[in-house]
A and B are shown apart, each in its own frame.
Chain A
Amino acid sequence: METDLYQVWVYLSASPLLALTLTLAAYQLGFWIYRRAGFNPLLNPVLIAVVALVSVLVATGTDYATYFEGAQFVHFMLGPATVSLALPLYRQFQRVRQSALAIAVSLLAGSLTAVVSAVSIAWALGASEKTLISLAPKSVTAPVAMGISEQFGGLPSLTAVLVILTGIVGAALGPMVLNLIGVKDMAARGLAMGTASHGIGTARAFQVSELAGAFSGLAMGLNALATAILLPILWGWVF
């Protein structure tokens, strides 16, 4: 009986279907807990899903590459979802155009704050140079952040993880900070979430309002561009 079960496991774990199903199930479990807890930001569904999946993978001795063979189908949809951000942006286009200058200035300030504060705090607390480089583009959407990290000798896969963690922190705690400083305007809230915590912050912003989501998606795209251009310049000054 035990051998049979083991053989079933060996068969299933070699098929992408298992990792794909587990990913969908873990996220829905995460969302269910999040909803049951009255949308408590600390119980972010992405965070719960990641913890649950890592636990299962470690417990069963499955490596990440095997898991990703199945999960890549979910991962792949990030591209089309990013393209779809054009829809809310179009619906809010009048509003975006009216605030173009304000958006540009806020975004540049946010972009610089993200890089400078992350690197200087981690440096002061004794992080290694590789970690500092990997951390610098943490607020930028993963594909761009990984490219920047690689360009300066960081670890792209570490950057990807730091980017996701940044997104979770922003999505979980960002709305609390915004409430604390009394910013209620959905455009400003969305722009801040997207600048600091890219797509995960944007996904969170959409759960609150379409206006916030549109500004967040815009900020995510613009911050990718701003950081890709600004970071090499900053780097030249420091070293």
Chain B
Amino acid sequence: MLFFITLIFACQLAGELLKVAFGLPVPGPVIGMVLLLVGLIVKGGIPEGLGRVGDTLLSNMSLLFVPAGVGVMLHIALIGEQALAIGVALVASTLLTIAVTALIMRVLGRRGQQDAGEGPHGN
């Protein structure tokens, strides 16, 4: 298990290095994710221990956002002054983005599936 924790950290570290070396606009962990994905494709499977470590992290992922969220206390005054603009923009834009993305994906995704000979899916 320790080996797989090290492997995950090493992927992130390699991602951070690539980001700095090539001035990439993507964060190190996202590059690390791509590296691990490539590794899994090359290997052709997920080792059991890696699955256990990774799935444990993912199933508690919400927790990991709490410390950054508490940072809201630094900006309570500014957010209070522009509460209406920020609140409406955040909620409306987020929900609109979800609707637009999902609807386009449903239309195009269904076509892609049919082309792939799998027939329609979803509802």
Contacts and interface: CB of A to CB of B under 8 A. Distances in A.
Contact of A144 (B8, B25, B63): B25
Nearest to A169: B94
Contacts, number: 348
B20 to A, nearest CB: 13
A77 to B, nearest CB: 5
A157 B74 contact: yes
A50 B70 contact: yes
A188 B98 contact: no
Contact of B79 (A142, A144, A161, A189): A161
B63 A221 contact: no
A86 B86 contact: no
Given A83-B29, A169-B90, 17 more contacts: A50-B72, A53-B70, A57-B73, A64-B74, A67-B67, A71-B66, A77-B57, A84-B55, A86-B54, A90-B46, A106-B105, A117-B97, A126-B82, A135-B90, A165-B90, A170-B98, A191-B102
B113 A99 contact: yes
B66 A192 contact: no
Interface residues of B, number: 81
**Interface bin, chain A:** 35 or more
B5 to A, nearest CB: 8
Interface string A195-225: 1110110111010000001000101110011
A91 B46 CA distance: 9
A178 B98 contact: yes
A46 B65 contact: yes
Contacts of A106: 101-102, 104-105, 108-109
